[in-house]
Structures are given as C-alpha cells and as structure tokens.
C-alpha cells in the first residue's frame, strides 16, 4: 500500500494556488492582509486629515463621529488617519526587521553550513548563546545599549530573529555543500563566494522564503510590543504599538483609543498566520495523501454483503469467507484484499505467502480489525472465530478477544514494543488486561512466560527496555506477550523477517513447539518459502489481493500448480545445490487500484494465453485439499489444445 | 541519573560564563561610556572623568570584566545609581514577583495546551478539533499587551470580578487570597498567548505517535482505547512536547514583560523597562543576567525530565 498521490495534484503552480484558495481560512487571510496592506500603502493619496494635527477642542470623540469615523485621541487627532499611517509604519518596520534578520541569519547559516568544521562550530556556538536568552531580554539589552527609538527597536527585533534563520539555512546548506554539483563548481575553479551565492544560495532560497513568511507576523507583533513599552516609536511618530501604549492611560474613559490599534495588529498577524498555515498545508504532501490521519481503534466495517455462515465443527478455529478490504486515498480505491477464503483448524499452522504488497498482511490484520481506518475499511465478507462473526461483534467484544482468544506477533519487534515502558510492564499489562490478577501474581506469570520462550534470567529481563535487548530476545518477548492468555489463534505477521537466520530457526521451532503443546492455531504470514516448509501444514499463496493457490505444504512444494507459486519456490536458495537457478520474478505486482479484468499475474506469467486476460479466473479444485486460480497450471501439458 | 544531572550541570557552566561576557559587554559597549549614560549628556568632562576613575572604568576592559565577575561570584551585582540600593536586592525582589506570574502562566498553558492538543488529535477533523485549532490560531496571533487591556476592560472594569492592576491591594491586602485575586488576570492573559504552540505540538506529536507500530501492538493486546491514548500514546508524545514547553518558558518570560507593564505587576519586566528609560544600565545588566541564568537552568531541568521519561536518552 504505497501512498501515491493522485497524479493530477502532483505538481504545477496553478494547482497549488487553487488548493490554497480552496482553503477558506487561508483565502480570508489573504484578502484581509491584502486590504490592510493596500490601505496602508495608499495612505498618502487617501483623503485623510493630518495624523499629527492636534485639536484640543475635539479630544476623545467617540467612534462614529461625523468627520472622525474612528473618533479622536487625547489630543484630538483623527484616529482613522493615525491608524492608517501607524499601520504603514508597523508593517514597514516589521518587514524591514524581517529582511535584516533574513539577510544576516542566512549569511551566517550559509557560511557555517558550507565551511563546516571550526568556522561552523564557532558561529553556531554564538547562535546557541543568543538563544540562551529569553528573546525579549536580548532585545531589551540591545535597546538599553542603543537607547529607545523606532530604529533601535527594529535592530533589536532583527537581531533576536537571526538565530532562527541561521539554524534553518545551515541545516539545508550543509546538505547541499556535499552534493556533486558543488564539487564540480569547486573543481572548475570557482571561488568560495561564487559557489556560495551562485550554486548553494538558489537552492536554499525556498527555505529562506518559508522562514520569512513564518516570522514576519511575529516581528510585526514584537516591534509593536517594544513601542507599546515606550522603547520603540517616540512621539510624535506613532506606530500601532505606541498608539496602543498611549491609549492605555485613558483605557477606562476612552477604550477605543487603545482597542482599535490592538485590533489592527491582531488582524494583521492573524491573517498572516492563516495564510502561512494554508501555504504549509498545500506544500505538505502528507496531508493530501491522508497519511496524517489518525487511525481508529478498529477497522471500519462497511459490508455490502454477508456470506452465508459455513458449517463449523469443534475443530474449526477461523473461517474467513470472501473477505474484501479496501483503502480509499483521495479518489483512488485500492483493493488490497479482493475476496479471500481461509480456514484454520485447531493446532494447525497455515501459511499465507506472497510478495510484499500482495495483501497478506492486510488480510491478517483485517481479522481482528487492526487495519488503520482511515484509509482502510472492510467492504465485504466475514470472518468467523469459532462460529462467531467478528465483523458483526461490537467494539467491546473485539477488545475482549484481542490478545486473549486471538493474539498477534508482528514483524519488527523493535518498533512494535513501546520504547518507553520496560518489557516487564508491557508483559504484565498484557496479562492483567484479560486476567483478574494482582501485580505480583501477574509478575510471576510474566516470569513463567519468559521461561516458556526460553529467555535466560527472566527476573532481570523484566526490568529491561526494548532498546537494551537483542532482536531475537525482543521477538521472544513479543511471542511471550502473545502467549500470555493462552490464545486459540495466533496471527504471526512475518515474525522472523527482521531476524538473523540462526535466530529465525529458534523462533520457528519455538512457535512449532508451542502449537503442538497447546494446540494453538497459527496463521503464519511470510514471503519466504524456506520458512513455510519449516512450520506450515497448509499454504495459501496470495497475489494482488487474491489467493491463487492453496493446499498442503508438501504437495505444493513438490508440485506447484500456479506459475506464480512455482516462481516463488524457485526464489529460495538451497544449500548444496549451486547449480539451481535462482530466478527473480520479472516485472512488478500490479497496483491494486487498477487491476486488469483477467488474471492479475498474466503480465508476468510465462504460460499466459489470451484467455487469461479477458475474464476473472475462478478457483479450480484439484482434489479435496487443493485448489488453484489458473487456466493453464504448471502440470497442464495440453495447454495448447 | 545523578551522574547525568551532574554532567548536564557541568556542561551549563561555559554557557553561563558566555552569558556573563555578553551581559558585561552591554555596559562596556554603551556609546559614550557608562559615566555619560549615568550622568546624562549635559555633564561636564571633569565630572565624567571623575566618575570613570571612581568606577574603575579607565582600566583595560578584561581586567574590569574579571573584577566584575569576581564581585558577581560573591553575590555583588553592583549598585543602582537611580534606586540607591544594591542591584541584587532589587533584582531578587522583582524576580520573585515575575516567577509567581510566569510560573503560574507556564503551568496553566502547559495544562491547557496538552489537553487541547490531545482532544484535538483524538477528535481529528471533528468539530472539537476545528474549534480548538481556530482558538489556538487566535491565541497565537493575539498581542499579549492588547489581550491584557481587553481582560482589564471586561473582567476588572465591567464585571468587577478582579482588581485592575498590581500584585497586592494597597490597603489591607498582602495575604495569599489577595495575591491570587490579583494574579488571575495577568496569569490567564499570559497563558492564553502561550498555549497555542504547546497545543499544536501536542496534536502533531499525538497524531505521529498514534500511527506507530507499538500503538497497534497495544490495541492488539486488547487494551482499552482510553489506556492506549492516555497512557501509551500520551507518554510517547510527551518526549517531543517537553522541549517545546521549555522553549515556551522563554516565550512566557518574554511576554511577561508586556503583561507586567499592562497590569503594573512589580516584576523584573517593569523593572527593566524603567531602568532602560532612566538609563540605569547596571540594573539592566543584573536583571538580564539573573533571568537568563534561570532560563538556562530551567532548560536543563526540562532535559532531565525528558531523560527520565525516555530511557533511550540515558
């Protein structure tokens, strides 16, 4: 299930812009910001009264007074005019500070990233020092040295934002400094400055622009803050911050004098942030593919049909009928599992075999609803555990079965164990979810389990964290956890794939022993026929979401009927048979959002005929235990007739 | 663990030394010199020379630095010429007030941010998530000084629930309930503007963690969804959130300067702003040094907490 974005939205500027405009909030931000900037820029040509002419007779007129739309301040100056001129100053100062910070910060970052070594070290230690201050302290210290004033406030705000640019730019520049085109430029005799500004800077530019857009609103806010404190713009000059600061003294009698400039600052910063978030969302491919969606506790079941329940005897543990699981990403539907049947009896080990992407894991995870929703959903079929329809059971019932009657062992034990809890805590937790035991009793049981999977010093190991253990021990712990509640069905999803060969053999013999002693049924998922022959009684071979061949292990290994099975078996190297031909299967499995009408393997199949491609191929029974989904199986000698 | 803490403390020493150099240079770099800054531009040349000799400012700068550092280690940060008292006394008094305000705000914004972030992640794309995301955006865009004024207008002037400003009532105050009543508005103001970043980081981090294999394991074990989210996912998410809370501490202290100005809270922020207007550089120096040191130590504490949660870092 590789998350491929729909091709239409893959690239192209017009598309990105349209996506941005689809985002209502971002569009609103763009409009508000545009209006404010236009009005501020147009201040000289708008019919506004002089913002600095005082009129003591007209002081503190309220909002809505004719001639003074937003009223007047304590000196009778027109608020609207002061607001527009003040916005112009605030915007200009914020943008200027941003440009200064971007220039020096990017320069430091470029040089540090390109030079590396000692220069990098010294520059970045300096940046670290600057970030050791809460940023406003540094700004206040700078203003203390230079004295209050709008320009000095601008410098202070620019300086405290230099580290942000320096860090971001260095991070990217360091990557480019090692690339081939930089080496090539150096060999062609270009100077360091030419390489820095001619070769590296153009590549780093997007990062600088993004950093600019994320900091500009912030810098407008901070310069306004310094002015508010009386350390920025000095009268008669006024920016939004100093207007707010002056208005504060008459807050109780005339709140409009301070509330209106504050509202303007807020509107500017908010619209910049809305726009910035919108741009970020458009640029983030993960959002589009739905990869950021939160998986629910259980796979959504949305079946269009429920197959008739098969007769179940006492030894039948799991009966899967026509299971179909799909992923919906954007407008594409990926039919990961396209209708499979599967039966597992008590004490039996059934192997589900196929290449990666064949749907074997998704089939296994569908049984207990562990396929992430979104984007996955069970669209049809049924899974009966001892006669109980699992897809019809309520969430609480499924939770009660998970880890209890049905347990799982996954592929990579490092990522499947929680890194922040000791293995003992995780094991004890698994026991106590389903058994009414005290902590001490559960701990004893955990030690027993570790002994059962033959881990030495179990008491000691309980305290260990997953990262402190070897891969083999970690996987044994996962198996111990799966055995905690004497499951009737164990679903093992490539449990040996991430392990060394010797450890693989130990884990396999462990699983084999456990099912013989406790008659646990095992569904064993793997891509490796070598592993299959070691443990499985029966095999189901999967390709492109369907089972293509099923039967007893020995029979299939001896005489595979489906060309795909035969190819898979040929992939297994055998010791002592160096003359054996190791064949990779040419071509790639089809993408399951666009399956052909006929046999999905036909494109890669040496025996494919025209009839393979026209219509879906049904399963053909070959004796009581075997079946194959093929019109021209391997032993079919009269294929040409 | 004790060894780790000791190591981190040792590593902090050069940073704090670097800090003293920067803070010392603030004085040394003042155009026209400290004496002019203290006496004002109209002072006579003799008066300036006399004061420079008195303060030892005519000697080489590194000697001045080591002398200053020596005094610093003995707890002497100099004397404020404007306030006519030792800088350390003034700074510590103000520092307490700021810590009460900023500390309360940091606790508040951490709690609100974590709650909002978790709810937002669990209800991803639901109405709760959308509402929280929008409120968070408003909080991030809100100037603290303006929000403070609005709070005063609504809750102090109109509703009369809380006092307008100050840390204690002028008459008859001074006890804890009085302090708390005065603390509510400034602390809430400060917390509101600082919550957004923590909430966003918590949401992102939770969503990231909820896709991990070990969460699938937790579900496969049959754990309740509550336990999966609030124990397994939340603990893992905290590893990424704690450094953000440490960064937010700097943000809270910075915005405390504005909030103190609005609410006339007698903290280090108002002290610094006044000291800058009166050009009391020695006081600025002392204040900046103490707050920056506290910030470094706080970051160190955050590192230690993170290491306690994540055994892989040990």
| Residue range A170-179, pLDDT digits in tens | 988 888 888 8
A226 SS3 class: helix
Angle at A481 between CA A530 and CA A458, to 5 degrees: 100
CB contact under 8 A, B275 and A144: yes
Give Cα A146 to chain centroid, integer Å.
47
pLDDT tens for A518-529 read 888 999 998 888
pLDDT tens for B209-254 read 988 889 999 999 989 889 999 999 999 999 889 989 988 998 999 9
Of B149, B157, B275, nearest to A248 by CB-CB distance is B149
State how far the Cα of A351 lies from the Cα of A537, in Å rounded to an integer.
8
More confident residue, B77 or B31: B77
Contact assessment for residue B18 and residue B289, using Cβ atoms and an 8 Å cutoff: no
CB contact under 8 A, A266 and B141: yes
Contact assessment for residue A130 and residue A162, using Cβ atoms and an 8 Å cutoff: yes
State how far the Cα of A606 lies from the Cα of A593, in Å rounded to an integer.
24
| pLDDT value at A614 more than 50 | yes
CB contact under 8 A, A251 and B153: yes
Q: What is the ipTM of this complex?
A: 0.86
DSSP string, A237-294: ---HHHHHHHHHTTTTT-THHHHHHHHHHHHHHHHHHHHHHHHHHHH-HHHHHTTTSP
DSSP state of A310: P
pLDDT tens for B91-113 read 998 999 999 999 999 999 999 99
pLDDT (average), residues A211-219: 87
Give me the pLDDT at residue A288, please: 56
CA neighbor of B90 nearest in space, from B289, B243, B236: B289
Chain A residue at shortest CA distance from B123: A294
| pLDDT value at A499 more than 80 | no
> Per-residue confidence at A3, pLDDT binned at 50, 70, 90?
very low
CB contact under 8 A, B310 and A420: yes
Give yes or no for B211 touching A (CB within 8 A): yes
State how far the Cα of B239 lies from the Cα of A183, in Å rounded to an integer.
39
A551 SS3 class: strand
Q: What is the mean pLDDT of chain A?
A: 84
Give me the pLDDT at residue A13, please: 46
- Residues above pLDDT 70, as percent of chain B: 95
Q: What is the mean pLDDT of chain B?
A: 86
User: A551: which strand partners?
Assistant: A539
Give me the pLDDT at residue A632, please: 83
Of B236, B261, B292, nearest to A229 by CB-CB distance is B261
> Per-residue confidence at A10, pLDDT binned at 50, 70, 90?
very low
CB contact under 8 A, B213 and A132: no
What is the count of residue pairs from A and B with beta carbons less than 8 Å apart?
217
pLDDT tens for A31-76 read 999 999 999 998 888 888 888 888 777 777 777 777 777 878 878 7
CB contact under 8 A, B149 and A259: yes
CA neighbor of A219 nearest in space, from A227, A517, B202: A227
Give me the pLDDT at residue B16, please: 87
Give me the pLDDT at residue A312, please: 74
Of A372-376, A564-568, B202-206, give the range with the top mean pLDDT: B202-206
More confident residue, B199 or A49: B199
Tell me the two tokens of residue A137: 């302290």
Touching A: B residues 105-144, CB under 8 Å = 121-122, 124-125, 134, 137-138, 140-144
The phi, psi pair for B165, rounded to 5°, reads -160, 175
Give me the pLDDT at residue A99, please: 95
The half-sphere exposure of B136 on its side-chain side, counting CA atoms within 13 A, is 25
Chain B residue at shortest CA distance from A400: B222
pLDDT tens for B34-48 read 666 667 667 777 877
pLDDT (average), residues A155-170: 92
pLDDT tens for A411-436 read 888 889 999 999 999 999 999 999 88
State how far the Cα of A107 lies from the Cα of A104, in Å rounded to an integer.
5
CB contact under 8 A, A408 and B217: yes
CB-based burial of residue B276 (10 Å sphere; 0-12 exposed, 13-18 middle, 19+ buried)? buried
Q: How many residues does chain B have?
A: 314
CA neighbor of A228 nearest in space, from B144, B113, B204: B144
More confident residue, A81 or A608: A81
Q: Contacts of residue B218 in chain A, CB cutoff 8 Å?
A: 418
Q: How far is CA A280 from CA A20, A118, A211, A284, in A?
A: 9, 35, 11, 6
Q: Contacts of residue B225 in chain A, CB cutoff 8 Å?
A: 297, 399
CA neighbor of A277 nearest in space, from A583, A617, A33, A538: A33
State how far the Cα of B309 lies from the Cα of B90, in Å rounded to an integer.
38
State how far the Cα of A168 lies from the Cα of A109, in Å rounded to an integer.
7
Q: State pTM to two decimals.
A: 0.84
Tell me the two tokens of residue A361: 């894991």
DSSP state of A312: -
A584 SS3 class: coil
Angle at A258 between CA A253 and CA A261, to 5 degrees: 155
């Amino acid at each position: 299930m590789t998350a491929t974005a729909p091709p239409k939205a893959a690239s192209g500027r017009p598309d990105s812009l349209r996506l941005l405009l689809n985002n209502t909030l971002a569009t609103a931000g763009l409009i508000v910001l545009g209006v404010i900037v236009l009005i501020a820029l147009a201040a000289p040509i708008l019919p506004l009264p002089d913002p600095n002419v005082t009129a003591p007779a007209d002081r503190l007129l309220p909002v809505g007074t004719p001639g003074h739309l937003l009223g007047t301040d304590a000196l009778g100056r027109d608020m609207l005019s002061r607001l527009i001129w003040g916005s112009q100053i605030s915007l200009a100062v914020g943008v200027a500070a941003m440009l200064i910070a971007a220039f020096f910060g990017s320069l430091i970052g470029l040089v540090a990233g390109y030079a590396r070594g000692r220069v990098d070290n010294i520059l970045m230690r300096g940046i670290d020092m600057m970030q050791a201050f809460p940023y406003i302290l540094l700004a206040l210290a700078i203003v203390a040295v230079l004295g209050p004033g709008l320009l000095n406030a601008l410098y202070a705000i620019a300086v405290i934002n230099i580290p942000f640019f320096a860090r971001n730019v260095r991070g990217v520049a360091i990557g480019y400094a090692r690339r081939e085109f930089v080496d090539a430029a150096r060999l062609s005799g270009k100077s360091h400055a030419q390489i820095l500004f001619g070769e590296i800077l153009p590549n780093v530019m997007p990062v600088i622009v993004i950093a600019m857009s994320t900091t500009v609103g912030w810098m407008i806010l901070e310069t306004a803050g310094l002015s508010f404190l009386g350390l920025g713009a000095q009268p008669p000059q006024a920016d939004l911050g100093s207007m707010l600061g002056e208005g504060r003294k008459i807050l109780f009698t005339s709140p409009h004098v301070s509330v209106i400039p504050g509202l303007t600052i807020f509107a500017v910063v908010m619209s910049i942030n809305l726009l910035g978030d919108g741009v970020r969302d458009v640029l983030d491919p993960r959002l589009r593919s739905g990869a950021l969606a939160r998986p629910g506790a259980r796979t959504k079941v949305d079946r269009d049909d429920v197959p008739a329940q098969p007769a179940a005897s006492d030894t039948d543990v799991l009966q899967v009928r026509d299971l179909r699981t799909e992923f919906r990403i954007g407008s594409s539907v990926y039919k990961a599992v396209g209708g499979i049947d599967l039966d597992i009896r008590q004490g039996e080990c059934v192997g589900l075999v196929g290449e990666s992407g064949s749907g074997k894991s998704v089939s296994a995870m569908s049984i207990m609803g562990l396929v992430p929703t979104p984007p996955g959903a069970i669209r049809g079929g049924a899974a009966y555990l001892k006669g109980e329809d699992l897809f019809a059971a309520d969430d609480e019932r499924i939770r009660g079965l998970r880890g209890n009657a049905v347990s799982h062992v996954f592929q990579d034990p490092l990522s499947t164990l929680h890194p922040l809890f000791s293995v003992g805590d995780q094991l004890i937790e698994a026991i106590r979810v389903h058994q009414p035991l005290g902590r001490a009793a559960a701990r004893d049981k955990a030690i027993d389990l570790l002994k059962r999977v033959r881990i030495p010093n179990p008491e000691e190991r309980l305290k260990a964290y997953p990262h402190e253990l070897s891969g083999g021990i970690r996987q044994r712990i996962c198996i111990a956890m799966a055995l905690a509640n004497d499951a009737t069905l164990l679903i093992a999803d490539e449990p040996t794939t991430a392990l060394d060969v010797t450890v693989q053999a130990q884990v396999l013999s462990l699983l084999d022993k456990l099912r013989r002693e406790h008659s646990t049924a095992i569904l064993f998922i793997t891509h490796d026929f070598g592993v299959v022959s070691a443990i499985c009684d029966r095999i189901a071979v999967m390709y492109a979401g369907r089972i293509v061949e099923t039967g007893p292990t020995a029979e299939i290994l001896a005489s595979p009927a489906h060309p795909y099975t035969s190819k898979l078996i040929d992939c297994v190297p055998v010791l002592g048979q160096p003359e054996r031909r190791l064949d990779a299967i040419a071509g790639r499995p089809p993408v399951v959002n666009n399956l052909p009408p006929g046999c999905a393997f036909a494109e890669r199949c040496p025996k494919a005929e025209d009839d393979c491609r026209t219509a879906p191929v049904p399963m053909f029974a070959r004796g009581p235990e075997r079946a194959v989904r093929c019109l021209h199986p391997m032993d079919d000698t009269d294929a040409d007739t | 663990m004790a060894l780790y803490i000791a190591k981190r403390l040792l590593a902090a020493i050069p940073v704090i030394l670097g800090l003293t150099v920067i803070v010392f240079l603030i004085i040394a770099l003042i155009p026209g010199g400290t004496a002019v800054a203290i006496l004002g531009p109209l002072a006579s040349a003799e008066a300036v020379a006399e004061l420079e000799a008195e303060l030892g400012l005519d000697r080489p700068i590194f000697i001045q630095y080591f002398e200053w550092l020596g005094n610093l280690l003995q707890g002497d940060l100099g004397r404020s010429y404007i306030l006519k008292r030792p800088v350390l006394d003034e700074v510590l008094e103000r520092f307490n007030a700021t810590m009460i305000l900023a500390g309360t705000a940091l606790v508040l914004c951490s709690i609100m941010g974590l709650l909002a972030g978790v709810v937002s992640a669990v209800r991803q794309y639901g109405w709760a998530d959308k509402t929280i995301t929008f409120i968070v955006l408003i909080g991030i865009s809100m100037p603290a000084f303006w929000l403070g004024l609005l709070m005063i207008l609504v809750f102090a002037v109109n509703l009369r629930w809380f006092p307008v400003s100050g840390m204690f009532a002028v008459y008859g105050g001074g006890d804890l309930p009085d302090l708390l009543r005065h603390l509510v508005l400034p602390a809430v103001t400060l917390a509101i503007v600082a919550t957004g970043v923590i909430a966003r980081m918590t949401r992102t981090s939770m969503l990231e963690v909820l896709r991990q294999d070990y969460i699938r394991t937790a579900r496969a074990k049959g754990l309740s969804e509550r336990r999966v989210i609030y124990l397994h996912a939340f603990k893992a998410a905290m590893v990424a959130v704690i450094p953000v809370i440490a960064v937010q501490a700097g943000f809270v202290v910075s915005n405390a300067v504005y909030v103190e100005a609005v609410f006339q809270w007698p903290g280090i922020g108002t002290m610094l702003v006044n000291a800058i207007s009166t050009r009391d550089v020695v006081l600025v120096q002392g204040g900046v040094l103490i707050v920056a040191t506290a910030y470094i130590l706080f970051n160190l504490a955050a590192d230690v907490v993170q290491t306690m949660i994540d055994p892989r870092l040990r």
